[in-house]
């Protein structure tokens, strides 16, 4: 989840730089490439988040159905 948050932050920064209304970033062609990079970073951030949530849910269900797990269910 930490990597997903960090990637989301950098994706937002690249997204702001890649907007047409900002003066930073160069020409329109360069801004389009930066905006595409921001989209790819957001997709990677979503995959990291989905992976971490799925692993946590798998751990919870495996502990719940484990008969040798002695903690409160």
Q: What is the pLDDT of residues 22-65, one digit of tens each?
A: 888 888 899 999 999 999 999 999 999 999 999 999 999 998 88
Alpha-helical (H) ranges within 1-73 are: 2-17, 28-64
| Nearest residue to 15 (alpha-carbon basis) of 2, 32, 1 | 32
Residue 12 has phi, psi (to 5 degrees) of -65, -40
* Mean pLDDT value of segment 14-20: 93
- Cβ atoms of 17 and 25 within 8 Å: the answer is yes
Exposure on the CB side of residue 58, measured as CA atoms within 13 A: 6
Domain membership of residue 67 (yes or no) is no
Asked whether residue 71 is domain-assigned, the answer is no
Residue 70 maps to a domain:
no
Confidence band of 10 (pLDDT split at 50, 70, 90): very high
Residue 19 domain boundaries: 1-59
Looking at the structure of the chain, the number of domains it has is 1
């Amino acid at each position: 989840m930490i990597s997903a948050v960090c990637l989301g932050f950098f994706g937002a920064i690249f997204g702001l730089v890649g907007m047409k209304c900002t003066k930073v970033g160069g020409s329109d062609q360069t801004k389009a490439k930066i905006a595409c990079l921001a989209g790819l970073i957001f997709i990677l951030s979503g995959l990291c988040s989905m992976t971490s949530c799925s692993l946590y849910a798998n751990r919870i269900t495996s502990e719940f159905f484990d008969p040798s797990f002695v903690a409160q269910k």
